[in-house]
Structure 1
């Protein structure tokens, strides 16, 4: 049966999470990370995710902006930059202006033209997601932006994915869920969604028992896949 909605993860899927460190590193005043910014970006993202998982497990929820700040603090500390308040503030400011990947506007526009509902389902707080969507200029191409704050727990908790079926009044197998995070795609597949894993880095599949229905290098063919379901 035709899908009811095409749902996207936000960070790393629609929005380039490495952009904040990359842009900061290009500024002369941030010479301390001119060469090490890729490691900083990787550490920041990994700790951001780890802290979200641990908070979901322990039930000690804080919103994603708090988790993002904590992850950055760890990453800066790992590079001996714990006391660089100006760099920290610049990186955090840039995180509110993450660019979309180049193909994103066209992909969303094509889905919209095909009459397929689109939305974001993200760990991000409502304020973070609103800023990201507006900065990328895609607010008119989305039917909804759904934050985990509606249920107060991070992915991969199943009640997060249930937000989609509730919002669109649809069966689980009527959703195409798209994520660049292998663990997220696996959890969504286990929940019952059709899934597309955007494997930009060419990484191995996670061993979680729920392989993605599609594995793609970018988002470009998502409209064709969604229309064919």
Structure 2
């Protein structure tokens, strides 16, 4: 399936370009099977906190939310290890890229698409991750929800990309591995591609995708390359 013509491609970061499974693998040696349980609890709580209405005067800070979510998950599992907590938080600063990500981005650049990351991640988190080889030379802009003090799926966050590129939403392909993000981006008006790496059933959300792919390697063909 191909999309209507687009002029730019915008990517979510975590779970789309960056493999959060690398955090699990980094502590599996010491936690064994509990590593997967911890990661599931942590990620679930992180997203739940980001979806809550912000208190008056409080601006979005994904690093703080991530740390609070990890504290919750570790407490729930009876883990009291400051060193473990620090290592897991530092993992967000240097996550692994999905294996096909660098080549897919390079192909899109060769096709002439400007590329951006649009993420809930704070700017320090994203800038650190962008030092990874294979990504720093292929991304034109890093757009953080922190700059508008809100988290996705708030429309103000999605608007960052259209403002940056000076384009209408329908001129942008938005790519995410997170179904809730897919719905929010579609509601804003983007042409959305869902990366369904685990081949899970669609979540029957009100608004969805123009296309679904198994990984980023399939994206250039959908965009005409």
TM surpasses 0.5: yes
Which 4+ stretches in 1 moved above 3 angstroms? 55-62
Which position in structure 2 is the counterpart of 1:44? Answer: 42
Kindly tell me the number of residue pairs found equivalent between the two proteins: 222
Rounded to whole Å, the distance in 2 between the matches of 1:38 and 1:192 is 35
The Cα offsets for residues 54-80 of structure 1, whole Å up to 9 and x where unpaired, read as 145877434100011011111111211
SS in 1 for 2:215: coil
Which position in structure 2 is the counterpart of 1:221? Answer: 218
Rounded to whole Å, the distance in 2 between the matches of 1:96 and 1:88 is 14
The Cα offsets for residues 140-162 of structure 1, whole Å up to 9 and x where unpaired, read as 10010100112110000011111
Which position in structure 1 is the counterpart of 2:24? Answer: 21
Which position in structure 2 is the counterpart of 1:10? Answer: 13
Rounded to whole Å, the distance in 2 between the matches of 1:58 and 1:48 is 20
SS in 2 for 1:7: strand
Checking the alignment, whether the CA contact within 8 Å between 1:64 and 1:124 is kept in structure 2 is yes
Q: Are residue 195 (structure 1) and residue 192 (structure 2) matched?
A: yes
1:70-85, aligned counterparts within 5 Å? 70-81=68-79, 83-85=80-82
The Cα offsets for residues 2-59 of structure 1, whole Å up to 9 and x where unpaired, read as 3121100000000011211321223xxxx2x122111111111111111101145877
In 2 relative to 1, CA 223–127 (structure 1 residues): closer, same or farther, beyond 3 Å?
A: same
Structure 2 gaps, min length 5: none
TM-score (norm. length: structure 1): 0.91
| Cα RMSD (Å) | 1.7
SS in 2 for 1:227: coil
1:65-104, aligned counterparts within 5 Å? 65-81=63-79, 83-104=80-101
Rounded to whole Å, the distance in 2 between the matches of 1:225 and 1:141 is 19
Instruction: Say which of 180, 183, 188 aligns to 1:183.
Output: 180
More helix by share: 1
TM-score (norm. length: structure 2): 0.93
Rounded to whole Å, the distance in 1 between the matches of 2:57 and 2:192 is 27
Rounded to whole Å, the distance in 2 between the matches of 1:76 and 1:34 is 15
Rounded to whole Å, the distance in 2 between the matches of 1:59 and 1:102 is 40
Checking the alignment, whether the CA contact within 8 Å between 2:20 and 2:95 is kept in structure 1 is yes
Rounded to whole Å, the distance in 2 between the matches of 1:176 and 1:78 is 39
Q: Mean Cα displacement is larger for which, 142-151 or 90-99?
A: 90-99
SS in 2 for 1:97: coil
Q: Are residue 113 (structure 1) and residue 148 (structure 2) matched?
A: no
